[in-house]
Structure 1
Amino acid sequence: MPPDPNLSAPLRHLRGEPPPAPGWFRDAVAVAPETGRIAVKGAGIETLAWGERGRPGLMLLHGSGAHAGWWRFTAPYLADSYRVAALSWSGMGGSDWRESYDLDTFADEIEAVAEEAGLFAGAAPVMVGHSFGCFPMLIEAGREAGRWRGAVIVDPPIFSPERRTGRRREDGRFSPHRVYPTLEEALARFRFAPMQPCEALYIADLIARESLREVDGGWSWRFDPSLWARLALPDRAEMVAAARCPLALVTGARSDLMRPADAAYVQGLLPPGSARIDLPEAYHHVMVDQPLAFVAGLRALLAVWPNG
């Protein structure tokens, strides 16, 4: 059966034209973030920030192959109460690529960006990590007690023991990116990983455009295709157990990455009574699927959690 074009190529039918967007989205992306670039272990790291310095700090950490711009349509709705910062991991977005990658270096990137953005100026800040972004976040959360007030794990790729036995391991090989002659052709190839429906095509269009760069011969993706072949991950349950700040879990009720058994498994790894939010009608990319519900859930969570 041929792949569903609504999943494998959600923007193809637009032929390179931006789709219409609602007012809340236009208002959010019209809020220009502070843009910056800092060096971390020899690599330039792209940064975005919103909100006044001195407010409680909030660090937003994106998933694999994504970039800091994945937060541009939600961060402004958090910046009225928080000093919000986001980064593009090395090897992704507008940040430099490295010869090799490790979670400790990614965690160093979190610290450096948080310091530069002023997140540590007042009370201890909170981290929010989506998908792959949970892993460096958990390493950082295990480093120093009291440095972070809490860490929110959003639909993490942490699987139950039963599901892990059936998953194929990567063999370390990778393919270089294709070069597309036109921006229209490149946008037509954008898809989510894992593939999922997307009703908010205006969000998909925004993040797809910011995922591309102009190169000799056309357009190509900005992330390093060799990253996963050069990165080893420690035991994921041990990373959760090693955290030295409170953890909360956010899941997409329709996620095909983190299924109900996986969510129950991760919930069981957290201390009893840890906060949990399950977003109805959200797939794995919860900030794309239900952006306003995601913002409302974070606001409510951070108003009461963690205690003290």
Structure 2
Amino acid sequence: MADDHSLPASLLAAFDGKPPPAPAWFNAAIAVEPERSTIEVQGAAIELLTWGEVGKPGLLFLHGNGAHADWWSFIAPSFAKDWRVAAISWAGMGASGWREAYSADTFAAEAFAAVEAAELKAGGHKPIFVGHSFGGFPTLFCAARHPERLRGAILVDTSIQPPEKRWKGPPPRSGFGTKVYPTLEEALTRFRLAPPQPCENLYIADYIARRSLKAVEGGWTWKFDPAIWQRFSMPDLGLLLAEIACPAALMWGERSGLMHAETLDYMIAQMPKDVLRLPIPDADHHVMLDQPLAFVAGLRGLLAAWG
């Protein structure tokens, strides 16, 4: 989601800065405003959104790379009746502060600090983490290294490639993500999904795009830290798959370009045999954007499986 000319044509340019028409279910969902707060975690201010009553079972949503907590604001209200729901913006993303270095340990600290601040354990149950894409990496780390603190962990289109196809690091990008656009309307035309994919629900793209930008001197720019991948460290994720030691599930979009058969076969072979699996039909990588209602229904089914 930045000024990258290798990405496909604008999703939102045709709307001239106006929100696309949205269905009633979406308008009703975003009308359920979260409580917004900030928590301090190891020197960084972390954006926290919460819905639902304290004392209900806890559910923590964790977004993907370059995204923010509001990627869940049209999903979380569907669970707020029965759950105490929270979402954070990782350090370096959304309205959260930036760090000199990012690691699995700092991301895990942010997630567990949100558990405490949102009182996700107040009902006597451990929380369940739901991590999309990159958000599944810290979720996996917590499921492997801190399983005693979780009731369950759900990875949503989190791609971990076989060792021979493992990602070797980000390509150099001069000034990536730092461009300032003179108007919000122009900035919105530069919003892209990464990795590139089709998008039919442009009302969702518009909603998350507006919350991906911040006003700065001279106009608007993206909220995320453009250097995050140059200052990031994580253990071998393939090894962590085998170390999952709490109830877990893998959900993915059946059309996802990141979850090819070879990748799925590798991940499933590494994971414990009792990990639940749920493909979402007619969905690409951004499952909750592509098929939001099917995503909600599928997630409800997984949660019900754990009582």
The equivalent residue for 1:66 is: 67
Pairing 1:290–2:291 present: yes
Deviations 1:132-157 (A, max 9, x none): 01111122223334310110011112
Deviations 1:169-198 (A, max 9, x none): 325665241000111110000000001110
Q: Could you tell me which amino acid in structure 2 is paired with residue 58 of structure 1? A: L
Pairing 1:175–2:175 present: yes
- Alignment of structure 1 residues 183-194 onto 2, 5 Å: 183-194=184-195
- Distance between the aligned counterparts of 2:160 and 2:151, measured in 1? 22
- Distance between the aligned counterparts of 2:261 and 2:170, measured in 1? 24
Q: Is the 8 A contact 2:244 2:272 kept in 1?
A: no
The equivalent residue for 1:195 is: 196
Q: Could you tell me which amino acid in structure 1 is paired with residue 133 of structure 2? A: S
Q: Is the 8 A contact 2:46 2:110 kept in 1?
A: yes
- Distance between the aligned counterparts of 1:234 and 1:43, measured in 2? 22
Q: Is the 8 A contact 2:65 2:135 kept in 1?
A: yes
Q: Is the 8 A contact 2:252 2:278 kept in 1?
A: yes
What is the deviation of 1:168? 5.4
Judging changes above 3 Å, is the alpha-carbon distance between structure 1 residues 221 and 6 closer, same or farther for their aligned structure 2 residues? closer
Q: Could you tell me which amino acid in structure 1 is paired with residue 135 of structure 2? A: G
- Distance between the aligned counterparts of 1:120 and 1:169, measured in 2? 37
Number of residue pairs the alignment of both structures matches: 302
- Distance between the aligned counterparts of 1:144 and 1:221, measured in 2? 33
Q: Could you tell me which amino acid in structure 2 is paired with residue 79 of structure 1? A: A
Q: Is the 8 A contact 2:244 2:271 kept in 1?
A: no
The equivalent residue for 1:135 is: 137
The equivalent residue for 2:220 is: 219
What is the deviation of 1:271? 1.2
The equivalent residue for 1:154 is: 156
Task: Please give the TM-score of this superposition, normalised by the length of structure 2.
Answer: 0.94
- Alignment of structure 1 residues 112-131 onto 2, 5 Å: 112-121=113-122, 122-131=124-133
Deviations 1:69-122 (A, max 9, x none): 000001000111111100000000000011111110010000101111011222
Q: Is the 8 A contact 1:9 1:191 kept in 2?
A: yes
The equivalent residue for 1:87 is: 88
Q: Could you tell me which amino acid in structure 1 is paired with residue 270 of structure 2? A: L
- Distance between the aligned counterparts of 1:6 and 1:94, measured in 2? 25
Task: Please give the TM-score of this superposition, normalised by the length of structure 1.
Answer: 0.93
Judging changes above 3 Å, is the alpha-carbon distance between structure 1 residues 19 and 161 closer, same or farther for their aligned structure 2 residues? same
Structure 2 unmatched ranges of 5 or more: none
- Distance between the aligned counterparts of 2:40 and 2:173, measured in 1? 29
- Distance between the aligned counterparts of 2:249 and 2:155, measured in 1? 6
The equivalent residue for 2:240 is: 239
Aligned-partner SS, 1:220: strand
Q: Could you tell me which amino acid in structure 2 is paired with residue 170 of structure 1? A: P
